[in-house]
Chains A and B, each alone.
Chain A
Amino acid sequence: MPPSTSLRQAWQEWWEGSCNLRAWWTLARYDIVLRYRRSILGPLWLTISMGAMLLGIGPLYTELFGASKTEFFPHLALGIIFWQFIAGSINDGCTTFSNAANHIKQGDNLLAVFGWRVWARNLIQFAHHIVLIVPLAIWTGLRPVPANLLFFVGFTIVLVNLLAAAFSLGIVCARFRDVPQVVSSLMQFLMFVTPVFWLPDRLPAKAQALLLNPFAILLDVVRGPLLDKPPPAWAWMTILGWTVVNVLVAAVLFTRKRAQIVYWL
């Protein structure tokens, strides 16, 4: 019986691997802890380096754009934090399987474990960054408002997309080793055409199309609610559409290619 490409079988394998939370969480935690093993402050460096970046870039850009501290600085800071999370996860997703070759060849775990591991690893990093929202809110006078609750909806959408990307990019990049380079160049480019550093309402009319890029919307659904600027309904619909596409692509790739992944490592 050649490896089954039935959706049911694939789903079953994926689910079983996903339920092995102990395995993927431990791997993800080790990834972070071991990276900072020989430093005194450990993973706190994640917070410090992000803080340093925001301190450096924030006041400068606020002056450069002639914007107000209360409006622009939270926009920029959250933009950088969320962008780092999204772009970082996507770049990292390229290594889901290629970097796990040593574990995969031991044959103890289902492949889904390694997709979740990358996802969780980036989530841990993000947690170290997002705590900066507290000093940020105090300094710029950001206050909790009811619209903030929409953040949880937006964040769930982001998490689903990043998980799907960890699988589909992991599979494609295990086979085609140029793709990680393509992805990282693309993310670099996207960082500038997505309103990470600039305010969307300063955009000239002829460049409005930039706001249609899915990354701009993805950023908007998590950042907007926190800044009391919830995204419009069309943005939610569009990003839900993208999410469905993303999940479908990951499901198809995983169903059809999962049996071949180990042969590419």
Chain B
Amino acid sequence: MTQIRLQDVSVAFPIFGAHGTSLKHTLTASVTGGRIGRDAGVTIIQALQDICLDIQEGDRVGVVGHNGSGKTTLLRTMKGVYPPQSGRREVAGRIASLVEPVQGMEPEATGWENIALRGVLTGVSHSEMQRITPEIAEFSGLGDYLEMPVRTYSTGMLMRLAFSIATSIRCDILLMDEWLSVGDADFKERAEVRLREVVEQSGILVLASHSAELIARECNRVVQLEHGRVVRDAPLERTPPTRS
């Protein structure tokens, strides 16, 4: 059974060497999302506080909130990047994460090598990798560019590669930070189709976005974050996509 359960999860970042004056920090606390406090000379950013979420199979959760309200941190906490300082996290199912997927690439390595590297790092078996590598290559549409080091790629090309890799690896839970923002029209269309497939296959989708329209289209539940707290968690009527 696929599920994500967060119980009273809190995540705080110590920021060393940042000395906010009291005025400045009051101001930033009011205009940005996170709550910034100070503790023994170390600035503490309370990114998530007492988060309780119970996400079950079939849930398509849209996460909304201001910049810095904790959306990305929430996704990373679900993935297991940040061990919560308090509370508990229970996850059943394999997670694929599209949170800054470009970060995991080696700039000097070629496209092919990066595919192999991501495969190894995400624990995909050698035989499985041999099977899906041509698929990834084809879907990315990068052709001969796969022979080039990825540092020569444009942002759009990098995103295409990262997306192709991440969505080729089988998963039960898909975490996404914003929908595809780059890529040309042709790729975007194919990516949408692919993404819909993956979402249909995977039991759970968690999508952080600023676009209300997108969330209404893709999700059946919405979670609103403010200052690292959940202020709204409600089911959502899914509006069928209106094509223009």
B-binding residues in A (CB < 8 A): 1-3, 20, 22-23, 26-27, 30, 34-35, 37, 102-109, 175, 259, 262-264
Tell whether, in the assembled complex, residue B83 and residue A106 are in contact, meaning their CB atoms are under 8 Å apart: no
Tell whether, in the assembled complex, residue B123 and residue A20 are in contact, meaning their CB atoms are under 8 Å apart: yes
Range of interface residues on chain B? 20 to 34
Output the least CB separation between A215 and chain B (Å): 31
| Binary contact track B80-91/A, C-beta < 8 Å → 1, others 0 | 111111111000
Pairs across A and B, CB under 8 Å, 15 listed: A1-B88, A3-B83, A30-B113, A34-B106, A34-B109, A103-B104, A104-B81, A106-B101, A107-B80, A107-B97, A108-B122, A175-B16, A262-B81, A262-B83, A263-B13
Q: Is B120 an interface residue (CB 8 A)?
A: yes
Tell whether, in the assembled complex, residue B79 and residue A3 are in contact, meaning their CB atoms are under 8 Å apart: no
Tell whether, in the assembled complex, residue A105 and residue B86 are in contact, meaning their CB atoms are under 8 Å apart: no
> Which 9 residue pairs of A and B lie closest in terms of their CB atoms, listed nearest first?
A107-B81, A34-B108, A107-B79, A259-B83, A3-B83, A106-B104, A1-B88, A102-B103, A26-B120
A1-B7 Cα distance, complex, nearest whole Å = 9
Contacts of B109 in A (CB 8 A): 30, 34
Contacts A2-B85, A26-B120, A107-B80 known; list 9 others, CB within 8 Å. A27-B121, A30-B117, A34-B108, A103-B121, A105-B100, A106-B103, A263-B13, A263-B82, A264-B14
Contacts of B79 in A (CB 8 A): 107
A1-B5 Cα distance, complex, nearest whole Å = 13
Tell whether, in the assembled complex, residue B81 and residue A26 are in contact, meaning their CB atoms are under 8 Å apart: no
Contacts of A262 in B (CB 8 A): 81-83
Instruction: List B residues 106-134 near A (Cβ within 8 Å).
Output: 106, 108-109, 113, 116-117, 120-123
A175-B15 Cα distance, complex, nearest whole Å = 10
Output the least CB separation between B77 and chain A (Å): 9
Contacts of B217 in A (CB 8 A): none
